[in-house]
A = this chain, B = another copy of it.
Amino acid sequence: MARGKLIESEEALIQRYLRPLAAGFPGAWGLEDDCASLRVPPGEELVLTTDAVAAGVHFLADDRPQDIAWKALAVNASDLAAKGARPIAYLMSLAFPSPPETDWLEKFADGLKAAQACFKMTLAGGDTDRRRGPVAITITAIGAVPEGRMVRRATAGPGDMLFVSGTLGDAALGLKLRRTPELAGRWGLKGREARLLVGRYLRPVPRLALRSAILDFASATIDISDGLAKDLDRLCRASGLKGLVRARDLPLSEAGRKVVTRMPKLFGDVVAGGDDYEILAAVAPAHAASFAMAAAAAGVDVTAIGALEPGRGIAIEGHDGRPLRLARLGWDHF
């Protein structure tokens, strides 16, 4: 395969591809300084998170650069979304094993530009390195909430209902299709359906639209990045409660339902697949109707999937009424 033109220096990479992404943020100083500065509006506090994505772990090396960029920012914005935060800006650390091609960089910057516009956040600073290993993008995202209002994991109460946004498992199935396109036929999927699942893997959409619903009505939240089971377990541990979920109530897309109807084993991907980037919210019963209505008003479907009670751990009731046994809880990096 012919190699395209390589970027000639770190400086050129910053000037040509990154600087335009910082244009809307005065405190980025055109990426010409060691640091960014950020003034926080009175009455607000900052919400900060960091997440890295690397080729071979969070995306495939031959994914489109636009999609890689989108995902790198989306997974961070999803953390902000879960906390009810309004995105503001981000810092980005890039690692390349060899000087990247200008064509790749251009598309990568295009993907960031699209994601920035969609999530309403701006590049504020960064760092670029060359090192062995996969291409890796480490982003620190900065958002804001009204003072003292960040919705946490640890603050769910016994009796709270559990809600989840959107549909589960699509991205995990999409990754399988991305790796083995022939599965589409075996799963009985139309081209459009297969593309929808793959798209859910490549371009997760952080549920920023749920901000008001979360801030006003949720008692605890987490974004589902490592699979429902694992992230529910985290919320339960942090809150000191037990989570009960009914398999039959988990929301599936039409394509996802088609796949698990034909291949029931793949229901594991719905429960523990990861990469969903949906929101899991604990909501007091008194607020449940308001939460669902606020979500609907924001254009996001939410589904009641279970409840929290005193105790520890999680239990998932299978379609047959018996406890579901999971081979693993979800994604662990070690």
Contact = CB atoms under 8 A, between A and B. Distances in A.
SS class, residues of chain A in contact with chain B: mixed
A208 B320 CA distance: 63
Interface stretch (A137-145, A194-202, A297-305): A137-145
Contact of A46 (B7, B38, B93): B38
A85 interface: yes
Given A35-B150, A91-B140, A140-B50, A334 B7 contact: yes
B82 A32 contact: no
A200 to B, nearest CB: 20
Contact of A40 (B46, B91, B124, B222): B46
A186 interface: no
A160 interface: no
Nearest to A147: B39
Interface in A157-188: none
Interface residues of A, number: 70
A22 interface: no
Contacts of A27: 45
Given A57-B130, A93-B51, A93-B52, A99 B35 contact: no
Contact of A332 (B9, B52, B80): B9
B93 A34 contact: no
Which interface residue of A11, A37, A125 has the most chain B CB atoms within 10 A?
A37
Contact of A35 (B39, B80, B93, B234): B80
Contact of A52 (B47, B48, B127, B153): B127
Contact of A129 (B45, B48, B49, B54): B54
A10 B134 CA distance: 20
A33 B130 contact: no
Nearest to A79: B34
Nearest to A46: B38
A83 interface: yes
B32 A238 contact: yes
A133 interface: yes
Interface of A: 7-11, 13, 27, 29, 32-40, 42, 45-52, 54, 56-57, 79-80, 82-83, 85, 91-93, 95, 97, 99, 124-134, 136, 138, 140, 142-143, 145, 147, 150, 152-154, 222-223, 234, 237-238, 332-334
Of all A-B residue pairs in the complex, the 6 with the closest CB atoms, nearest first, are A133-B133, A140-B140, A34-B79, A50-B91, A35-B49, A138-B138
24 contacts: A13-B334, A29-B152, A29-B154, A32-B154, A35-B47, A35-B49, A35-B79, A35-B83, A35-B143, A36-B48, A38-B47, A48-B140, A49-B125, A50-B138, A51-B93, A52-B93, A52-B127, A52-B129, A95-B133, A130-B333, A131-B134, A133-B133, A136-B136, A140-B140
